[in-house]
Structure 1
Amino acid sequence: MEFTFLGSSAGTPTRSRNVTALALGPRGPKPWYLVDCGEATQHQLLRSRYSVMQLKAIFITHIHGDHIFGLPGLLTSASMLGREEPLDLIAPPQVGRFIQAAIENSDSSLSFSLNLINSEAEGFQWQDEYFSVTAVPLSHRVPCRAFVFTERNLERQLQQDKLRANGIEAGPEWGDLQKGKDVQLADGRLLKADDYTCIPRAPRKLIVAGDNDTPDLLADACQGAQVLVHEATYTQDVAERVGPWPQHSSAEQVARFARQAQLPNLVLTHFSSRYQSGTEGTPNINQLAAEALRHYKGQLFLARDFDTYRLEKDFTLHRLENSG
């Protein structure tokens, strides 16, 4: 499971950070999924390994502009490139109206079906062959969600001794059972895949949260999760000066929650544009890291645009590269 940050800035872009977007794939960039789509996301894609032609679904956490203003351009560009494959858009209902208005008022059209799915519907769940996705309501100025990606269709391990004990020698039937298919033998016996295979590991589970001032809302969802991607818009001192109205989290808030939830990996993103990158200048992005590390002892990362992470089958998380 891999994910790449296409934007890590809150509200407005900076010279080194675009506004929010994250690409996620089960095995890399083919196929892949997009979580949020801030302005200029399609420009960021041009500097990445991801193509709109292999995009399977878009998930939008909430309606604020720094999370959706890139949608009309990305979708119409996909159309101009000849995309025909239908695309699921999982989002609040207002996002569909926003896209429709942009297309109707710009003499544009789409060459593919855009399937609008209400992320705020009660009991929401989306899945394909790779992931099951659920949503967790968060606390922000508008309705907002975190999306929980849980791996599906894990590889099966054959119970070979049991097969041989039942007189079933190696052959094509073994391959079908390992793929999870039940098998009818020539002698009439029906072999259930669940009876002759096991799944030797737990599924990988990644949570990508939208804007949120109450990390504790994710406590239940974080059980069994290996990675949480969460905003840390401010340091705690700045959050206290700004006041509660923006409804964002500080690095300290998120770090305290991650420690309490015993999360092994925490990736912070959505940093206020006031925080400068690099080692010079104040306020500096390194202040966010220092604050989080005072309260969290797991593996901590601060997102940078174009950084790619891989969550391995043994649940270790590695930062692979910065390809931008």
Structure 2
Amino acid sequence: MDIIFLGTSSGTPTKTRNLSGVALRKAGSKPWFLIDCGEGTQHRLLHTNLSLNSLQAVCITHVHGDHCYGLPGLLASATMSGRSAALTIIGPAAIREFIEATQKATQLRLSYPVNFVDVAGMSGVFDGDGFDIDAVALSHRVPSFAYVFVETGLSRKLDVTRLKADAIESGPVWGQLQRGEDVILPDGRVICSRDYLLEVRKPRKVIISGDNDTPALLAESAKSAHVLVHEATYTEAVAEKVGAGPRHSSAKAVAQFAAEAAIANLILTHFSPRYKDSGGSGLTIGDIELEARTCYAGNLLLANDLDMFHLDRAGTLIRR
């Protein structure tokens, strides 16, 4: 699957970083999901091959503007592009009020129905196209959530090596076995499908977190996660100077949690604009990376706008 970053700054944009937005899709698949939609998200989408007509759901982590101010414009653009299929929006109840107020104030009429799901009232997982989506409550100044994506639709593969070893030639018989049907071969042998189907591989799980000052709230979900995407707004020293008011995580706090939870792949994002990309004097993104690496020995990646990370079936994550 692919994770595409449409914005990696917190609070306000910078010259190189837009506000929060992450796209998730199965590799090679048109359907995709959007997690958060900061101002300017749709402009970042113009640099990708993601279509608003293929968007399955928008998941908003919380109501702060850097995570949702881009949503009305994106919905309007979907109408301009001719969308007719219903769109699901999962988020805090206030997101629905925000969209409806914007529609009324600007006379925005959408060409497609919108299905709102109150994330606080979700009962069980939401069945997306190719994913089950669950939510975990976090700790922030307003109710904030992480979204947990677990891939679905996995099927058992044929044990081709065994089929060839038993002289079962490819053809219709293989299709019957794949469908779970037992087969009688022309030579009289009775072939049981269960003997030629491999075990289903473990479904991949990706957690994309909203703003959160307590990473440990994700401990249960993280037990089987392949990737955690989490904010690292500050380094520890800056977090201490800023104080507890903003209620964000430092790179150290997230990295320590990821190490303790044995998460194989950690992507940090949502960096304070005070951290420059590189060069010059003052704080840089490199300071965030250095702090995280002192606590976490796994596959650590810091997101830039328009970065795409590919998670293969074996759980290996690479930047493309």
Common topology (TM > 0.5) = yes
Equivalent-residue separation in structure 2 for 1:294 and 1:259 (angstroms): 11
What SS is found at the alignment partner of 2:259?
A: helix
For residues 9 and 199 of structure 1, do their structure 2 counterparts lie closer, same or farther at Cα, with a shift above 3 Å needed? same
86-95 or 272-281, which moves further after superposition?
Answer: 272-281
Deviation at 1:155, TM superposition (A): 3.6
Q: Which residue of 2 aligns with 1:154?
A: 154
* Secondary structure class of the residue paired with 1:258: helix
Matched with 2:48 is: 48
Does the Cα contact within 8 Å between 2:31 and 2:129 map onto a contact in 1? Answer: no
Runs of 5+ consecutive residues of structure 1 not aligned to the other structure: none
Amino acid at match of 1:89: I
Name whichever of 247-256 and 146-155 sits farther off: 146-155
Does residue 1:313 correspond to 2:306, yes or no?
A: no
Code of the residue aligned with 1:221 in structure 2: it is S
Q: Give aligned pairs, total.
A: 315
Aligned counterparts of 1:193 and 1:214: Cα–Cα separation in 2? 48
Cross-structure match for 1:71? 71
User: Runs of at least 4 residues of structure 1 off by over 3 A?
Assistant: 159-164, 168-174, 181-186, 191-196
C-alpha separation in 2, matches of 1:39 and 1:120: 24
For 2:149, give the aligned amino acid. Answer: F
SS in structure 2 opposite 1:158? coil
Distance in structure 1 (CA, Å) of the matches to 2:125 and 2:201:
23
TM-score, normalised to structure 1's length? 0.90
* Alignment of structure 1 residues 1-324 onto 2, 5 Å: 1-28=1-28, 30-158=30-158, 171-172=171-172, 174-175=174-175, 177-178=177-178, 181=179, 183=181, 197-320=197-320
Q: Which one has a larger percent strand, Structure 1 or Structure 2?
A: 1
Alpha-carbon deviation of 1:279? 2.5
Q: Quick one: which amino acid aligns to residue 4 of structure 1?
A: I
Contact map agreement 2:177 2:183 (CA 8 A) in 1 = no
Change (3 A) 1:160 1:306: closer
Distance 2:177 2:22 in 1: 36
Offset of 1:112 from its aligned partner? 0.7
DSSP-derived class of the 1:75 partner: helix
What amino acid sits opposite 1:154 in the alignment? Answer: L
Deviation at 1:147, TM superposition (A): 0.7
SS of 1:48's partner is coil
Instruction: Output one character per residue of 1:92-133: Cα deviation in whole Å (capped at 9) or x when no partner.
Output: 111011111101110211001111112111534112341111
Q: Which consecutive residues of structure 2, in runs of 5 or more, have no partner in the other structure? A: 185-190
Q: Aligned AA for 1:246?
A: P
Q: What whole-Å deviation, never above 9, does each CA across 1:56-100 have from its counterpart, x for those lacking one?
A: 111111111111100000001110111111111111111011111
Aligned mates of 1:129, 1:78 — CA distance in 2? 19
> 2: distance between equivalents of 1:161 and 1:267?
37
With 194-203 and 104-113 compared, the bigger mean Cα shift is at: 194-203
Task: Give, in whole Å, the separation in 1 of the partners of 2:195 and 2:144.
Answer: 42
Normalised TM-score (structure 2)? 0.91
The CA deviation at 1:257 is: 0.5
